[in-house]
Structure 1
Amino acid sequence: MIKEGISFKEAGKFEETRFEKIHNVIFHSSQEASVLVAQEIANIIQRKEELNEPCVLGLATGSSPIKVYEELVRMHKEDGLNFTNVVTFNLDEYYPMDKDNIQSYYQFMHEHLFNHVNILPENINIPDGKVSSEDLHQYCIDYEMKIKYLGGLDFQLLGIGRTGHIGFNEPGSHINSGTRSITLDHLTRVDAASSFLGIDNVPRKAITMGIGTVRNAKRIVLLGWGISKAGIIKKTIEGEISSRVPATYLQEHSNTTFVLDTEASSELTRVKTPWLVRPCIWTEELKLKAVAWLTELTKKPFLKLTDKDYNDNGMSSLLTDEGTAYDLNIKMFNKMQQTITGWPGGKPNADDTYRPERSTPIRKRIIIFSPHPDDDVISMGGTFDRLVEQGHDVHIAYQTSGNIAVSNEEALKFAEISKALNVNSGESEDIIQFLKNRSANEIDSLEVRKLKGLIRRSESLAATRYLGVADSNVHFLDLPFYETGTVKKNNLSEADIEIMCNLIDSIKPHQIYAAGDLADPHGTHKVCLDSLFEALKIVKHNSYMDDCWVWLYRGAWHEWESYQIEMAVPMSPDQVLKKRHAIFYHQTQKDGVMFQGDDNREFWVRVEDRNRLTAKKYHDLGLADYSAIEAFKRYHF
């Protein structure tokens, strides 16, 4: 455990600036940060135990605190951390909600923490989602009074929603609000939709501790992970206090720390535009980032920026390093120009000094890892097509079955067709009866999951055949972490990593493409990317890996910033159409797709818009005008 006195300021990256109104620390990964948060909680528990006093904890749910709870469980089992003096109060619960519902926060807390430590059942307090409407008002008052009776919260753990809510205190919540019933914001319900398999199943109300209750805690730690939280984190830390962003009320709390990973901190001024905060050491990457930012700010292409543009926007020291705007502009123009290539596998017999990929070997062995059975064509369908057309040995590896994204209606349709073709098929009849009679909380049976996985497989094979890939080059890995039958997945295991290693070892690739998009709403992309990174640690010592490059693409949720792009593959209008048709083969993911987040456009529409926008960004920088561009960033392992 961390010794008493060691603070997040010492452990993470912190720098006080005139823009920031809440203490925050940045960590490379949420895993590292979660361990330190858990250790702070453990220190408080132990200190209160030594004083023979109860330790009163306010706890949060959602994906953000899961790793914190895992570490607390580990410390209990391995280090003897004692929870008998701990009293917990959970922030919130959906309303109405049964305790035994798999989506209830009661189930969440017991699954992730309470079932694994020696906390006394009578010391667990979670809002009751089934209290009657007549008794609800008094119930909330009693919940509030119980916290006050115990002397208030010693420590409050928080996440943050994209509306700026803490707990379920949605925009409009009062600074002195107490525990109460609240109507959930539409965006909050959208963010929860994947867990409930559709927004229509998400409750419209909740019970939540109030802003005033939270602000009375002696210590507050808020966790912020991922690129999707970057915008609201910036508003909360740098914006004015406003009921429109309830988390900004924490600016007035004297002992609050926001614990962030690099993605969640990416919009903070000191991270996004550090030259506005302090003198910079101008690395090549930072130069490109700064100049690309300046072109966007001034709405000028690279070659039209002037000395005055640089000096007026806090970048005079960059000109001191580089000489004149003229010299710097040409340098940055050339750097971006050199990312563009119509030969993603390398151009044969060409000078590759300034090309993003090597010219040799002419025919490369390539693995495209796709987290779900459609991410390959959605995210890099044009590049996929180029690689095949240019004669490379392209392998597609679908990391998960994607079965959970097939609706029950689609599965029922296929089961009924199967039964019609084989009247005596008892398995088809079992599936039909299960789907017609399943309850809301029931997990798909193994037979249903198998059927849904086969549906995704057949769609994938239709798309890869359309793009000219032999079935023998299509690999369905079905990584075990995914196969739970629910939105919640298991942790990455050695079995997952072994499957990844075996495939890489069998193909011995010159190129690997993988999804670096961590903004997908259900986290599968991150686990799949982690599985690759862990596999690379193992196989990198093999001689064939000396000649292997890894390129990361992003999916339907987010795109690389222009300064991050290291390979840009233009697409012609015909290729855009071909990519669209490949996506259409994944028919169960059209129209009523389950996991589209807060973007109502179909995947093919949003990716075409994204690819057009990337091309427009290049054109705005003063580069060639293309119909669409797919972008990649190299990962150095």
Structure 2
Amino acid sequence: MARLNLLEETRFEKLPVTVFPDEHVASAKVAQRIADLIRSKQQRGEMAVLGLATGATPVGVYAELVRMHREEDLSFRNVITFNLDEYFPMQPTAAQSYVTFMNENLFDHIDIDRKNIHIPSGTLPQEEIHDFCLAYERKIEALGGLDLQILGIGRTGHIGFNEPGSAPNSGTRLVTLDDLTRRDASRDFGGKENVPTKAITMGIGTIFKAREIILMAWSGKKAPIIKKAVEGEMSGEVPATYLQLSDNVEFILDADAASELTRFDTPWLVKDCAWDEALIKKAVIWLSKTVKKPILKLTEEDYNSHGMAQLVTEKGSAYDINIHIFNKLQHTITGWPGGKPNSDDSQRPERATPARKRVLIFSPHPDDDVISMGGTFIRLVDQGHDVHVAYQTSGNTAVWDDDVLRYMEFAIDFSKSIGEKNGELKSIYEGMRSFFEEKQPNQLDTQEIRNVKAFIRKSEAFAGARYAGLDDEHIHFMALPFYETGKTVKNPVTEADVELTMELLQKVKPHQVFAAGDFADPHGTHIVCFRIVVEALNRLRQKEEWAKDCWLWMYRGAWHEFETHEIEMAVPLSPQEVERKRNAIFKHQSQKDRPVFPGDDAREFWVRAEQRNRETAKSYDGLGLAEYEAMEAFVKWNF
């Protein structure tokens, strides 16, 4: 019976999928399967032939294999590896090379024979590539084929570098990279313009010949393409869909990457559900949007025709459900984000007391506060709350180099105008110019340059917070140590990061904390900063009474927005408040027009913020609630 239920639940899925709570558990499981294969081959005196992938996805797998080698005597002496791909052209010693990646993450830490490592060459003359690719295929065939191929998946649906348009029987070859693939790689290369336009990749046909294929995907960023690959029709537009033809494939996902699969996103379409409040709210909003009716106009027929008959049977009439969910949504809307004084707060998202709250807004980068919750920030100040803002990192990697020279030139001219000697300043400036002329993509800036970039962003943050109404004593610059490397890949979080955060929290003793819950940030800075805040508050809650009554609200907007069913507080903005928020964002001039790290969204940050805020308001309006110009959305963290 359980087997039948599982088949019904996964009936939209066209290949086997296993979902784990997080990428760490999933990575450990994949590593264990690789280790079991290696050991079983060792017992038979055979070589294990592995197809390996690069990128962020397999890093945890490789780390676990290294641990097993060190702590559990896992030997790789009987392992032969073939990597999926390599950029072209690419020097093997370059930081972005997959040779460098594999060495740093796996090969330098295990006992594999270097003669058994095969990675496509990025240094070949172009006329030799065809013969090299044929030889690569023949080496695999001569060994009896790949025992196990591990894969990631790109947001274009590519596996290896088999971009849309690749044939299912394609072999190892030189390919042209999709623009989205190059944008996704731009952070590693210091800009998309530095990303190679071509790569050498194993073909889909080569991958298919492996006796076992494991495709891994982590994070919500991969959820849309995973849904297409698993539930969509086979198409050259999504090369990963060709894996539906294989009898030897398994997708291994974390919960976030699996979140848009039907059994998780709209489970009422495939199974009977345990209808709690959150699921009812999500389902009714989904139904309203699907049939394009306000919630209060949904009928019994609408419920029955869209897989929700069980809900009506168990929870009462459609009319009662509609009223209940409509009221829940209505109660999320408030013009008083700090709580409305002297009012019944039983149906409001925030407490009425104390009427004047101490508020601490944590901003991972120097502009996230105004981009993501600038309207609410300004309103909290206007309504008399004791508002503080804390900039967790300097953002000193996200300033254009020519801005550094411009500010240095200003400093030199200013010092000259007041009669100061500026020989040393000029010398530093000339050194910066020389450095920039020779600077390689993604090269670490000098300390002086990083300082100037940090000063630029600090001055902009001051301007934005002052515009919102704060005095300088309420503006805090934390410069958390994990960030201050000058690299796009940051140091691990340490105790110092948590202790600095605890010190500020103890100083302010806030009733409300706002922190970025926008984990789509491509650098990962947001989630790191959020975890630091949560850890600090958790520790303080164990020993300080004020911390037990401190509420933590998550905001989004710079990179993503909360889904309507997730929102617990929606703060409406008037046209005038939208303009004030825009003006606060404009204070961050170094991020204006074209930020250094725009991600895959071509819109400026202020445009993204306004359009997302308007989309949230439009969503509420479509559900039958009041029509507003824009809305900022928040979700309360449950400790």
TM-score normalised by length of structure 2: 0.95
Q: Does 1:196 align with 2:189?
A: yes
Counterpart in the other structure of 2:449: 448
Aligned partners of 1:538 and 1:218: how far apart in 2?
Answer: 49
Counterpart in the other structure of 2:356: 363
- Which whole-Å deviations, capped at 9, do the CAs of 1:475-502 have from their partners, x for residues lacking one? 2222232233222223333332333333
Amino acid at match of 1:582: A
CA contact 1:14–1:25 (8 Å) conserved in 2: no
Amino acid at match of 1:511: Q
**Which residue of the other structure, out of 45, 52, 60, is the alignment partner of 1:52?**
45
Which range moves more in the overlay, 87-96 or 621-630?
Answer: 87-96
For 1:131-150, list aligned pairs within 5 A. Answer: 131-150=124-143
Amino acid at match of 1:534: E
Amino acid at match of 2:114: P
Aligned partners of 2:476 and 2:367: how far apart in 1?
Answer: 13
Distance change >3 Å, CA 251–CA 398, structure 1 → 2: same
CA contact 1:170–1:246 (8 Å) conserved in 2: yes
Amino acid at match of 1:462: A
Aligned partners of 2:18 and 2:611: how far apart in 1?
Answer: 35
Counterpart in the other structure of 1:531: 532
Counterpart in the other structure of 2:228: 235
Aligned partners of 2:533 and 2:76: how far apart in 1?
Answer: 37
Q: Does 1:114 align with 2:107?
A: yes
Counterpart in the other structure of 1:482: 483
TM-score normalised by length of structure 1: 0.95
Distance change >3 Å, CA 170–CA 134, structure 1 → 2: same
- Match of 2:387, SS state, is strand
Counterpart in the other structure of 2:418: none
Counterpart in the other structure of 1:388: 381
Counterpart in the other structure of 2:322: 329
CA contact 2:189–2:441 (8 Å) conserved in 1: no
Amino acid at match of 1:448: I
- Match of 2:286, SS state, is helix
CA contact 2:188–2:442 (8 Å) conserved in 1: no
Aligned partners of 2:117 and 2:67: how far apart in 1?
Answer: 20
**Which residue of the other structure, out of 621, 626, 636, is the alignment partner of 1:634?**
636
Counterpart in the other structure of 1:618: 620
Aligned partners of 1:540 and 1:575: how far apart in 2?
Answer: 35
Q: Provide structure 2 residue ranges, at least 5 long, that are not aligned to the other structure.
A: 416-421
- Match of 1:26, SS state, is strand
Counterpart in the other structure of 1:579: 581
Counterpart in the other structure of 1:458: 459
After the TM superposition, list the runs of 4 or more consecutive aligned residues in structure 1 that deviate by more than 4 angstroms: 13-16
- Match of 1:558, SS state, is coil
Counterpart in the other structure of 1:6: none
For 1:540-551, list aligned pairs within 5 A. Answer: 540-542=541-543, 543-551=545-553
Aligned partners of 1:251 and 1:446: how far apart in 2?
Answer: 51
- Which whole-Å deviations, capped at 9, do the CAs of 1:121-169 have from their partners, x for residues lacking one? 2222211111110111111111122222222222212111111000100
Aligned partners of 1:498 and 1:282: how far apart in 2?
Answer: 41
Amino acid at match of 1:99: P
For 1:584-623, list aligned pairs within 5 A. Answer: 584-623=586-625
For 1:544-559, list aligned pairs within 5 A. Answer: 544-559=546-561
Q: Does 1:472 align with 2:473?
A: yes
CA contact 1:419–1:429 (8 Å) conserved in 2: no
Aligned partners of 2:173 and 2:159: how far apart in 1?
Answer: 14
Aligned partners of 2:547 and 2:616: how far apart in 1?
Answer: 31
Q: Does 1:288 align with 2:289?
A: no
Aligned partners of 1:110 and 1:502: how far apart in 2?
Answer: 40
- Match of 2:199, SS state, is strand
Aligned partners of 2:532 and 2:79: how far apart in 1?
Answer: 36
CA contact 1:373–1:456 (8 Å) conserved in 2: yes
Distance change >3 Å, CA 413–CA 141, structure 1 → 2: same
- Match of 1:404, SS state, is coil
Counterpart in the other structure of 2:496: 495
Aligned partners of 1:355 and 1:598: how far apart in 2?
Answer: 36
Which range moves more in the overlay, 425-434 or 249-258?
Answer: 425-434
- Match of 2:360, SS state, is strand
Aligned partners of 2:79 and 2:497: how far apart in 1?
Answer: 36
Deviation of residue 210 (structure 1)?
0.8
Which range moves more in the overlay, 299-308 or 246-255?
Answer: 246-255
Q: Does 1:253 align with 2:261?
A: no
The count of corresponding residues between Structure 1 and Structure 2 is 627
Cα RMSD (Å):
1.9
- Which whole-Å deviations, capped at 9, do the CAs of 1:330-358 have from their partners, x for residues lacking one? 10100000000111111111111000011
Aligned partners of 1:314 and 1:357: how far apart in 2?
Answer: 35
CA contact 1:368–1:396 (8 Å) conserved in 2: yes
Distance change >3 Å, CA 528–CA 86, structure 1 → 2: farther
Counterpart in the other structure of 1:400: 393
- Match of 2:332, SS state, is coil
Q: Does 1:269 align with 2:262?
A: yes
- Match of 1:206, SS state, is strand
Aligned partners of 2:147 and 2:532: how far apart in 1?
Answer: 38
Amino acid at match of 2:605: F
CA contact 2:189–2:442 (8 Å) conserved in 1: no
- Which whole-Å deviations, capped at 9, do the CAs of 1:304-336 have from their partners, x for residues lacking one? 111111111111111112221111111010000
Counterpart in the other structure of 1:80: 73
Counterpart in the other structure of 1:216: 209
CA contact 1:194–1:594 (8 Å) conserved in 2: no
CA contact 2:80–2:116 (8 Å) conserved in 1: yes
Distance change >3 Å, CA 375–CA 172, structure 1 → 2: same
Distance change >3 Å, CA 503–CA 74, structure 1 → 2: farther
Distance change >3 Å, CA 87–CA 419, structure 1 → 2: farther
Q: Does 1:309 align with 2:302?
A: yes
CA contact 1:517–1:553 (8 Å) conserved in 2: yes
Deviation of residue 15 (structure 1)?
7.8
Counterpart in the other structure of 1:433: 434
Deviation of residue 239 (structure 1)?
1.0
Aligned partners of 2:329 and 2:525: how far apart in 1?
Answer: 31
CA contact 1:59–1:90 (8 Å) conserved in 2: yes
Percentage identity across paired residues of the two chains: 57
**Which residue of the other structure, out of 67, 80, 85, is the alignment partner of 2:60?**
67
Aligned partners of 1:509 and 1:35: how far apart in 2?
Answer: 39
Which range moves more in the overlay, 66-75 or 204-213?
Answer: 66-75
- Match of 1:403, SS state, is coil
Counterpart in the other structure of 1:5: none
Counterpart in the other structure of 1:4: none
Deviation of residue 99 (structure 1)?
1.4
Deviation of residue 577 (structure 1)?
0.4
For 1:338-357, list aligned pairs within 5 A. Answer: 338-357=331-350
Aligned partners of 1:131 and 1:499: how far apart in 2?
Answer: 51
Deviation of residue 205 (structure 1)?
0.5
Amino acid at match of 2:138: M
**Which residue of the other structure, out of 363, 367, 374, is the alignment partner of 2:367?**
374
Deviation of residue 519 (structure 1)?
1.5
- Match of 2:479, SS state, is coil
**Which residue of the other structure, out of 407, 419, 430, is the alignment partner of 1:414?**
407
Q: Provide structure 1 residue ranges, at least 5 long, that are not aligned to the other structure.
A: 1-8
Deviation of residue 441 (structure 1)?
5.3
